[in-house]
Structure 1
Amino acid sequence: MAATGSLLYVIVCAAGPAGDVGRLVAMAQDDGWAVQVVATPAALDFVDAQALEVQTGRSVRSRYRKPVEPKPPRADAIIVAPATYNTINKFAHGIADTYALGLLAEAPGLGIPVVMVPYVNDALAVRAPFLRSVEQLRAEGVCMLTGQAKPHIADTGAADVFPWRSALAELEDR
């Protein structure tokens, strides 16, 4: 259960389960979190931003703010779900070429807990760059929710059983 007023950033990437991210938002809200959804630019085509804005009471963010816009509040925690191959590798290498990656690049240095739920296919999940990135992020304290032996794999057809609750439970265990 989140402390009253705790702010959870849910970063959503462009992958099959992204359209169901409202399920995670609802679970987090039920647990007491205020939620800010941040979508990668490509994820905007996967989510219903308007519905998420109604659900959270906040605009879905996908770009850096303009200088005249107010600075958004800092997250108390971040869940990245679904986390794509591209986002995981860029995060591990400190690349901040999108708003979502900029938030992630700072999070470990600010002590913000991050839980990532990879959603990649079998071919990408066994690539050395991906495996190195997962280990590098774990070494920095990022929780990579990868199940027993390997990440949640897109090719299993399991988008309908994506582990939203597991991501939230892992965060709350931290």
Structure 2
Amino acid sequence: MTDAGADDEGRRVLYVIVCAAGPAGDVGKLVTLAHQRGWDVQIIATPSALDFIDAEALEKQTGRPVRSHYRKPGEPRSPKADAIIVAPATYNTINKWAAGISDTYALGILAEAPTLGIPVTVLPFVNTALAARRPFQQSVKDLRNEGARVLLGSGGFEPHAPGTGGGQIETYPWQTALDEAEHALPPH
């Protein structure tokens, strides 16, 4: 490592935590955008997200294994993250993270990020029925109070009516998440 957070070539490292939601199959779009801006990308998938993504294609695209479980003793560590994007972020992941639950590798990464000073950008994918729930609204508020940039509402992700999520996949704002993640970085 050349420094904390940089990969072996000195590039910034972006963790992309992908959850089991409609846009997950298109996470390669975010990887492409990040590569164009000089990022090295590590994909971390929730266990349920593995059914939504093409892990083999993402491993070829990133040059890194898709991680969904804690590493075994002796396995190489991933490089340290300079920034994290959670996209698509589900109702379940947002609520568990805010409640301090760390029952997956992805949630373990998120549980530590605020106290390690790693900027986290969250791009939800939820419907209006879930977004209207008081526990979800409280979770978003709590995460924002801890410094997470939750892009929900105007300028971020606008929740869709239940049953219409499939129509939102093509317009999912991957670039907005990357723009916000870069904006959150401390100056060099």
TM-score range with shorter-chain normalisation?
over 0.9
Are residues 150 and 76 of structure 1, via their aligned partners in 2, closer, same or farther at CA, if it must alter by over 3 Å?
closer
Quote how far apart the aligned CAs of 1:121 are.
1.1
In the aligned structure 2, how far is the partner of 1:149 from the partner of 1:112?
Answer: 22
Residues 46 and 106 of structure 2 are in contact (CA less than 8 Å); yes or no, is this contact kept in structure 1? yes
Q: Which amino acid aligns with 2:114?
A: P
Quote how far apart the aligned CAs of 1:151 are.
4.6
Identify unmatched segments of 5+ residues in structure 1: none
Indicate the SS of the match to 2:81: coil
Q: Which amino acid aligns with 1:119?
A: F
Residues matched between the structures, number: 172
Residues 80 and 116 of structure 1 are in contact (CA less than 8 Å); yes or no, is this contact kept in structure 2? yes
Q: Which amino acid aligns with 2:27?
A: V
Q: Which amino acid aligns with 1:62?
A: S
Residues 79 and 114 of structure 1 are in contact (CA less than 8 Å); yes or no, is this contact kept in structure 2? yes
Residues 42 and 78 of structure 2 are in contact (CA less than 8 Å); yes or no, is this contact kept in structure 1? no
In the aligned structure 2, how far is the partner of 1:23 from the partner of 1:64?
Answer: 25
In the aligned structure 2, how far is the partner of 1:92 from the partner of 1:151?
Answer: 19
Please tell me whether residue 87 in structure 1 is matched to residue 93 in structure 2: yes
Aligned residue among 119, 122, 128 for 1:122 = 128
* Aligned residue in 1 for 2:3: none
Q: Deviations over 1:93-123 (max 9, x none)?
A: 1111000000000000100000000111111
Residues 13 and 40 of structure 2 are in contact (CA less than 8 Å); yes or no, is this contact kept in structure 1? yes
TM-score (norm 2): 0.87
Please tell me whether residue 16 in structure 1 is matched to residue 26 in structure 2: no
In the aligned structure 2, how far is the partner of 1:145 from the partner of 1:28?
Answer: 18
Residues 157 and 172 of structure 2 are in contact (CA less than 8 Å); yes or no, is this contact kept in structure 1? no
Aligned residue among 84, 92, 101 for 2:107 = 101
Indicate the SS of the match to 1:78: strand
Identify unmatched segments of 5+ residues in structure 2: 1-5
Please tell me whether residue 170 in structure 1 is matched to residue 180 in structure 2: yes
Q: Deviations over 1:9-66 (max 9, x none)?
A: 0000000000000000000010000000010000000000000000000000000111
Q: Deviations over 1:131-154 (max 9, x none)?
A: 000000000000001132985324
Please tell me whether residue 147 in structure 1 is matched to residue 157 in structure 2: no
Q: Deviations over 1:73-107 (max 9, x none)?
A: 21110000000000000111111100000000000
Are residues 34 and 124 of structure 1, via their aligned partners in 2, closer, same or farther at CA, if it must alter by over 3 Å?
same
TM-score (norm 1): 0.94
In the aligned structure 2, how far is the partner of 1:166 from the partner of 1:94?
Answer: 26
